[in-house]
Amino acid sequence: MTWARDFSTPARRQRSLDEQSKRAAFWENWSKAVSSTALPKEQSDPKDEAYLESLAKDARRELVRAAQVAKGLYRPKTDPAYIIYKITFKQFQAFRSNLKWYRRALLLYKAPNPRAASAKAAFHIGLLTVCTEPYVIFLLRAYPMQQPSYRAWLIAIERSHRISTGLIALASFILCVIVLIRSYAAMRQQAIKYENDPQYYLWEEDAETGAINPRF
């Protein structure tokens, strides 16, 4: 239980806050020491003064970074859209592992965060486009539009070189299928990546009480 408390969110937040406090205190004391030991211009070394001036700029940057980290401990840059996804990383992993294989393959479940939801939407739109394409082709054949001027030329080539045009058409079809499969696999993998990354989950379960609380 002591080990769990040491690695709980409040404990991690306090350790980080203590670290930033020490960081700020060091540079503050350093700045005071430099100011109190300043030498007259005629006695100072130009190289030393230039180096101290450079360090003073670094000190201000370090103070800004410490302030940003400390602010982020209590006011993180979290998209408000994440708040509505009140599920922890472990809860979602357990939920997804119990789904049917086809639901996992086609991402037929609610996304755990906005990034995964966007990637899933792109994946499903692509699948819908492929599924509706045969109907579009059927409609075009059933209600043909005005044929373009080069149509007769293409038909003549097809008739005179049936084997070559057939092989080209088959190769083009196979290439299109491979490209589509790889594209949809990449979009699915992108959604899975956001689902498997704990940083995109705003909520976590308290190890002691089991309550669901914000991670920050």
Predicted pLDDT of residue 180 = 77
Q: Is the same domain home to 96 and 138?
A: yes
At which of 18, 43, 75 does a domain end? 75
Q: Which long-range contacts (CB under 8 A, 24 or more apart) does 172-181 make?
A: 180/126, 180/130
The 8-class DSSP code of residue 83 comes to: G
At which of 75, 91, 118 does a domain end? 75
The dihedral region occupied by 25, where left means phi > 0, alpha psi between -120 and 50, and beta the remainder, is alpha
Q: How many domains would you assign to the chain? A: 2
pLDDT in tens, 178-188: 877 888 888 88
The string over 118-141, giving b where at least 16 C-beta atoms fall within 10 Å of a residue's C-beta and e elsewhere, is ebbeebbeebeeeeeeeeeeeeee
Measured CA angle at 34 (ends 69, 66), to 5 deg? 0
Q: How far apart are CA 216 and CA 204, in angstroms?
A: 9
pLDDT band at 19 (very low <50, low <70, confident <90, very high): confident
Q: Is the same domain home to 198 and 92?
A: yes
Closest CA to 89 of 3, 208, 194, 211: 194
Asked if residue 213 belongs to a domain, the reply is: no
Which residue range(s) make up the domain with 15?
A: 2-75
Q: How far apart are CA 214 and CA 192, in angstroms?
A: 22
Q: Is the same domain home to 103 and 178?
A: yes
Residue 59's identity, in one-letter code, is A
Q: How far apart are CA 20 and CA 71, in angstroms?
A: 10
Quote the tokens at residue 144: 């043909």
Quote the tokens at residue 40: 């007259």
- Residue with structure tokens 């990034």? 115
Q: Is the same domain home to 113 and 35?
A: no
pLDDT in tens, 65-117: 888 777 666 554 556 667 778 888 889 999 999 999 999 988 999 999 888 99
Can you tell me the mean pLDDT for 4-19? Answer: 70
